[in-house]
C-alpha cells in the first residue's frame, strides 16, 4: 500500500508541475513585449520580444521552470519505478530537491513582494512556486528514495546549476534581459551579479549536503552509504 501511495504522490507532483510549466509558457506567449521587458527590470527592447514563440521560450530561462522540469522528470520516473539507484538519476534527483526548495523559499520570501500575481497568473504561480515545492519536499521526506552521502552527487548537481547560470548570462549579454534582479548584470555589473549567484550556489551546496545527511536517518534509510527503499529487492531476496 505504501508503494501505491508513493507512486500516486509522485505522479500528482509531476502532473501539477507539468500543468504549471505549460500554463507559464502560455502566459508568456500571450504577454505583451512590454510586459516581458518589465519582468526583466525594464531592460531590453520591446522589439526583441515581438515574436510570440520567442516570448514562450523566455519561460525556460527562469530558474523556477528549470527546477520544476527536473522535478517533473524525476518524480514521473519514480511514479513508474520507485527503486532507482543510478548515479545520473541521483544527481538529478538531488538537484531537483535543492532547486525546488530554493525556488519555494526565494519566491515566497522575496520575489512575490516585487510583483504580486493576479488572476490566472496567481494559479500558475501557486502551482510552480508553492504546490510543487511542497509536494516535492514532502514526497522526499516521506517516501524517499534516499540518496547516499557521496560528495560526487552534490558536486555534479552544482554543475547543473552552473549550466543555468551560464545560459542566463550568455542570453542576457545578447539581449540585455535577465529573469531575476540578482542576476541583472546590466544594472548591477558582472562582479555584483556573479557574487550574488555565488552566494546562491554556496547556499545550494549546503542544502545538498543537508539533504544527503538527512537521508541517512530518514525513514527508508538503513544508516549506511547506500540506503534502500522499504521493501526494495536486494541481491539475496
For the chain of 237 residues, list the mean pLDDT of each consecutive stretch of 10: 91 98 92 73 63 86 95 97 94 97 91 79 93 97 94 96 94 86 89 95 96 90 51 36
Kindly state the cell numbers that stand for 126: 501557486
Query: pTM, whole model, 2 decimals?
Result: 0.87
Q: What's the alpha-carbon Rg for the chain, to the nearest Å? A: 19
How many of the other CB atoms lie within 10 Å of CB of 127?
20
Query: How is the chain split into domains, by residue range?
Result: 2-214
Would you say 23 and 123 are in contact if contact means Cβ atoms under 8 Å apart?
yes
Handedness of CA 226, 210, 182, 197 (dihedral sign): negative
Q: How high is the pLDDT of residue 224?
A: 52
Handedness of CA 153, 159, 165, 167 (dihedral sign): negative
How many of the other CB atoms lie within 10 Å of CB of 149?
18
How does DSSP classify residue 14?
A: H
Q: How high is the pLDDT of residue 153?
A: 97
Sequence-separated (6 or more) residues with CB below 8 Å from residue 231: 2, 3
Please choose, from the candidates 163, 153, 157, 159, the residue with its C-alpha nearest in 3D space to the C-alpha of residue 87: 153
Burial of 31 (C-beta count, 10 Å sphere; 0-12/13-18/19+): buried
Q: How high is the pLDDT of residue 68?
A: 98
Q: How high is the pLDDT of residue 177?
A: 85
Q: How high is the pLDDT of residue 111?
A: 76
Sequence-separated (6 or more) residues with CB below 8 Å from residue 112: 125, 129
Q: How high is the pLDDT of residue 43?
A: 57
How many of the other CB atoms lie within 10 Å of CB of 11?
15
Amino acid at each position: 500500500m505504501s508503494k501505491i501511495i508513493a507512486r500516486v504522490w509522485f505522479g500528482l507532483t509531476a502532473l501539477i508541475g507539468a500543468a504549471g510549466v505549460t500554463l507559464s509558457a502560455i502566459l508568456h506567449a500571450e504577454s505583451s513585449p512590454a510586459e516581458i521587458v518589465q519582468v526583466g527590470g525594464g531592460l531590453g527592447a520591446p522589439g526583441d520580444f515581438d515574436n510570440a514563440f520567442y516570448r514562450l521560450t523566455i519561460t525556460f530561462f527562469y530558474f523556477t521552470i528549470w527546477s520544476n522540469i527536473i522535478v517533473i522528470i524525476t518524480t514521473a520516473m519514480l511514479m513508474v519505478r520507485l527503486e532507482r539507484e543510478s548515479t545520473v538519476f541521483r544527481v538529478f534527483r538531488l538537484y531537483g530537491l535543492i532547486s525546488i526548495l530554493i525556488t519555494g523559499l526565494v519566491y515566497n520570501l522575496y520575489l512575490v513582494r516585487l510583483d504580486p500575481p493576479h488572476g490566472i497568473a496567481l494559479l500558475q504561480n501557486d502551482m510552480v512556486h508553492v504546490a510543487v515545492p511542497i509536494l516535492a519536499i514532502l514526497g522526499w521526506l516521506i517516501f524517499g528514495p534516499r540518496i547516499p552521502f557521496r560528495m560526487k552527487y552534490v558536486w555534479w548537481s552544482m554543475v547543473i546549476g552552473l549550466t543555468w547560470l551560464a545560459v542566463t548570462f550568455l542570453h542576457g549579454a545578447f539581449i540585455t534581459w535577465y529573469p531575476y534582479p540578482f542576476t541583472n548584470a546590466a544594472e548591477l555589473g558582472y562582479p555584483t551579479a556573479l557574487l550574488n549567484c555565488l552566494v546562491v550556489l554556496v547556499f545550494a551546496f549546503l542544502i545538498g549536503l543537508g539533504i544527503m545527511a538527512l537521508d541517512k536517518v530518514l525513514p527508508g534509510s538503513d544508516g549506511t552509504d547506500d540506503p534502500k527503499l522499504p521493501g526494495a529487492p536486494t541481491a539475496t531476496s
